[in-house]
């Protein structure tokens, strides 16, 4: 086999080594959802023109994204308070926002990869009493793949005062996931317009038992004669499991 002289081999490799050196020297492109504030600001220009909301999201990202060394217990608690305050500021701004802010919030939930940020944004939608916010929460529930995000969307609907929120929760009572149907029943606590649906779920012999018990509990939160009548009917139904009937009795006693 013919061997190349060492000098010739070195000269042949010089262009390749120079190219590798140039490639390694280039900065990493910022990722959407990374801890880089500049990258966040690029996306957050879509927050409906709400500069204060944009600043709050950037601040929250920085509080989570910065690398920190060892923290004392006092410093750890202070950091937790800062993070909570930043999350509260975001939720409050979304809660007071107009339709443009709601639309931008939903868009951000769909595009960011940070589950922590998604949860904060979902909570903010639950504070907004508009029909647009209710629809946005319904979209999150239908589109999200993670159980935690769908759960938070249902809980936010339970806290919402927007029109149509109870209707979406009633629909979620029939979820294939027993955990989600249970959360939907829990979120309907005190909802007068859902009395008949809650009573139907509680009385169904085919329903998941924890969902049924939560439905009984939520009936107890409705301070109307219709809900009391439904609870009494459940208590007196000999065809239902003793566990459900006994729980209905306890709920009646607590009213």
Q: Secondary structure of 189-206 in the HEC alphabet? A: CCCHHHHHHHHHHHHCCC
Q: Provide the sign of the torsion angle of the four alpha carbons 27, 31, 36, 39, taken in this order.
A: positive
Mean pLDDT lowest among 6-20, 54-68, 229-243 = 6-20
At 40, list the tokens. Answer: 């966040």
- Tens of pLDDT, residue by residue over 10-27, are 444 344 334 434 333 343
Cα separations (Å) of 219 from 88, 251, 252, 254?
31, 8, 9, 12
**Three-state secondary structure call for residue 30:** coil
Give the pLDDT band (50/70/90) at residue 49.
low
Distance CA 156, CA 87 (A): 15
- Tens of pLDDT, residue by residue over 105-139, are 999 999 998 899 999 999 999 999 999 999 999 99
- Residue 235: closest CA among 186, 209, 199: 199
Portion of the chain with pLDDT greater than 90, in percent = 67
**Helical spans, DSSP H, in the chain:** 6-25, 37-44, 51-65, 73-95, 99-111, 115-127, 131-143, 147-159, 165-172, 178-187, 195-203, 209-220, 225-236, 242-254
Q: What is the mean pLDDT of residues 158-181?
A: 97
Decide if pLDDT at 233 tops 80. Answer: yes
Portion of the chain with pLDDT greater than 70, in percent = 80
Distance CA 20, CA 195 (A): 69
CATH number of 166-255: 1.25.10.10
- Tens of pLDDT, residue by residue over 213-223, are 999 999 999 99
- Tens of pLDDT, residue by residue over 76-106, are 999 899 989 999 999 999 999 999 999 999 9
Decide if pLDDT at 232 tops 80. Answer: yes
Q: Which comes out higher in pLDDT, residue 6 or 200? A: 200
Where in the chain do CATH 1.25.10.10 domains reside? 166-255
Q: What is the mean pLDDT of residues 145-161?
A: 97
- Residue 181: closest CA among 170, 166, 196: 170
Mean pLDDT (the chain, rounded): 83
Give the pLDDT band (50/70/90) at residue 48.
low
Backbone angles phi, psi at 194, to 5 degrees: -105, 10
């Amino acid at each position: 086999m013919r061997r190349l002289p060492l000098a010739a081999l070195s000269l042949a490799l010089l262009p390749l080594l120079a190219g590798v050196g140039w490639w390694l020297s280039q900065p990493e492109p910022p990722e959407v959802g990374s801890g880089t504030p500049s990258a966040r600001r690029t996306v957050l220009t879509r927050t409906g023109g709400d500069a204060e909301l944009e600043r709050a999201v950037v601040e929250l990202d920085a509080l989570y994204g910065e690398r920190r060394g060892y923290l004392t217990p006092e410093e750890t608690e202070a950091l937790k308070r800062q993070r909570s305050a930043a999350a509260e500021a975001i939720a409050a701004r979304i809660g007071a926002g107009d339709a443009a802010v709601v639309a931008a919030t939903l868009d951000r939930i769909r595009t960011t990869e940070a589950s922590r940020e998604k949860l904060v944004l979902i909570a903010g939608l639950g504070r907004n009493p508009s029909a647009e916010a209710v629809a946005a929460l319904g979209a999150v529930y239908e589109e999200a793949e993670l159980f935690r995000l769908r759960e938070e969307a249902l809980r936010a609907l339970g806290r919402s005062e927007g029109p149509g929120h109870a209707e979406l929760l009633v629909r979620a009572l029939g979820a294939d996931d027993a955990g989600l149907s249970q959360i939907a029943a829990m979120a309907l606590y005190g909802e007068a317009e859902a009395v008949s649906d809650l009573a139907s779920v509680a009385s169904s012999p085919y329903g998941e038992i924890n969902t049924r018990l939560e439905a009984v509990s939520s009936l107890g939160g409705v301070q109307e004669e219709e809900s009391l009548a439904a609870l009494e009917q459940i208590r007196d139904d000999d065809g239902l499991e003793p566990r459900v009937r006994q729980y209905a009795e306890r709920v009646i006693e607590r009213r």
